[in-house]
Amino acid sequence: MKKLWPWFTGIIIISGVFIIVNTAGDTKETLNTFDTDHAKISGPQGNCAVSLPDQIDFAGEQVPIKEWDIAEHLDRELLINTYWHSSSLRIIKLANRWFPIITQILKENNIPGDFKYLAVAESGLQNIVSPAGAGGFWQFMPKTAKQYGLQISSEIDQRYDVVASTKAACKYLNDAYQKLHSWTLAAAAYNMGSSRLIQSIEQQQISNYYNLYLNKETARYMYRILAFKLILSDPTRYGFCFNESDLYQPVPYQNYFLSEPIDNLAKFAIEQHTNLKMLKLLNPWMKGNKLSPAEGDTITIALPL
């Protein structure tokens, strides 16, 4: 969570490096555009400047884009992420896999869909670990993860379960919104913590994110989120060209319900006609080489078809 440095038709229980998709479903959310004609690119080429939109909002809250400092902050992040081609193009590919599941969970928990871009800003939609120890798509620190119901043990770390960690992020964001009464401030609180943000608001007597004087990272945070919203909502406008076949697709799966201990996951994988590598790819929340469900509990494991 607090980070100290820079499709399916239903919700799955366990997720891995790929969106685990039931092959019976055929409904999916995709990026807003698939421009299959690489010759028709309306975005910046070479070393061209990037045009800012006339208006933009986050979760229905308008951004004061006409103010010079706001415009320049957004311009900076938009330039960085537009011209950081390899990173941004990979995020576009990953979004095709992950946005549908994240958006569905946000909706079910009454969180605005724009918060999927917060996950992009946090991790680039990858199960990374920060130098400070924050982990997963939503970059939870261990203490905060446990506070919001994620299991962390010698065998399991649910920060790397996209479904479980997204639900935990929703709980945090709902708590922050109840305290701050603004989705923009709730997003800022996700970066710096609610208590510190409330302290800044009280000291400065300002309750608008865009007018607050904050630490460098949190001061950039919303503009990074907004830049990803602009790019991922209309990649072609910003010079990214791809075919739909270029995007990362869901991987079919089947559920295995485990109620008895497994002492050797590598052996278990072979018995299930797969291997330990694929098992860990589909279930990155697995930490070691064994699983020990508590009596009466069931662990759901994703297995490849």
pLDDT in tens, 257-297: 999 999 999 999 999 999 999 999 999 999 999 999 988 89
pLDDT at position 155 over 50: yes
Write the CB contacts of 270 (distance below 8 Å, at least 6 apart in sequence). Answer: none
The DSSP line for 125-165 is SS--B-TTS-BTTTTB-HHHHHHTT--BSSSBBGGG-HHHH
Lowest model confidence (mean pLDDT) among 22-36, 82-96, 110-124? 22-36
pLDDT tens readout for residues 225-261: 999 999 999 999 999 999 999 999 888 889 999 999 9
By the 8 A CB rule, do 274 and 301 touch? no
* Residue pointed to by tokens 């680039």: 124
Domain range list for the chain: 20-246, 252-304
How far is residue 163's CA from residue 154's CA, in Å, rounded to a whole number? 20
The three-state DSSP-derived secondary structure of 165-191 is: HHHHHHHHHHHHHHHHCCHHHHHHHHH
Question: 286, 246, 206: which is closest to 90 by C-alpha?
Answer: 246
Task: Please say if the pLDDT value at position 162 is more than 80.
Answer: yes
pTM of the predicted model as reported, rounded to 2 decimal places: 0.85
Whole-angstrom distance, CA of residue 208 vs CA of residue 44: 32
Mention every residue, 6+ apart, whose C-beta is less than 8 A from residue 71.
52, 65
Backbone angles phi, psi at 295, to 5 degrees: -60, 125
Q: Phi/psi of residue 73, each to 5°?
A: -65, -45
Q: What is the mean pLDDT of the chain?
A: 88
Q: pLDDT band at residue 1, thresholds of 50, 70 and 90?
A: low
SS3 category, 25:
coil
End-to-end CA distance of the chain: 33
Q: At the top level of CATH, which class does the domain 20-246 belong to? A: mainly alpha
63 within 8 A of 74, measured Cβ to Cβ: yes
Q: How far apart are CA 5 and CA 132, in angstroms?
A: 8
| Mean pLDDT calculated for residue range 178-196 | 97
Q: Can you read off the two tokens belonging to residue 123?
A: 């991790």
pLDDT at 34: 41
Position 6 scores a pLDDT of 39
